[in-house]
Structure 1
Amino acid sequence: MIVAGLGFSSQATASSLRAAFDQARTGQNVDALATVADKESHPALAEFAATAALPLHLITPDDLAGQRTLTCSNRSRATYGTGSVAEASALAAAGPGARLLSPRQISDDRLATCAIAIGGQT
């Protein structure tokens, strides 16, 4: 399974999420989206998930903590215990043995990030 993990600020729009997603997926056929569960009610996430027509996996903060990521945001580290919400969400949702296909990509407005992970078991 190929999962797009999303991280974003409270000011992010569906366009912010789309821009980060489009930069990150670069030709990959993504099977699902994932982000931290406390972002579930964000209107931009609901809009983007609906237009992307992909299932959304909500990851608990505990499942993000300690995920090894390629990049590090001080805010993500302080809030969730991981370097990147996007990378950690993708890895957690893709399952055991998952690996990142690339580090997180940042939308031009800098309000959203997206990283792609592939599951370790096919």
Structure 2
Amino acid sequence: MASSGPTKKDFADLINQMMGQNVVNSQLLDQVLKEAKKGYHQQGLEGFFEYIRNLTNIPLSNTELKQLMDIVIGAGTPDQALNHLVNQKWISKDKAETIERKIGSQGKR
């Protein structure tokens, strides 16, 4: 059966490109997903958010993380998600353009 989207390796490669160094691989992503699921199953969405907050050190409340998640999920496409994030002042236009370039270069491999 053919994959309908990017693989974990593709996602890891994109993260590494954006960071400018190798910070993640598909095995680490597997571990992150496993721990995120564990947090969710033990404490619901709050457990998931707590795990993400501890992992990333971002100073966002559960409400803010939920808003961010809703924006990204509800957008439909990566381009629309980036536009919403810029419009809501979550990220700068320059950062969105950088991400778009990185996503575009991943699709051309």
Shorter-normalised TM-score: what interval? 0.3 to 0.5
* TM-score computed with the length of structure 2 as normaliser: 0.34
> Rg bigger for which structure?
2
More RCO (CA 8 Å, sep 6+): 1
Structure having the higher strand fraction is 1
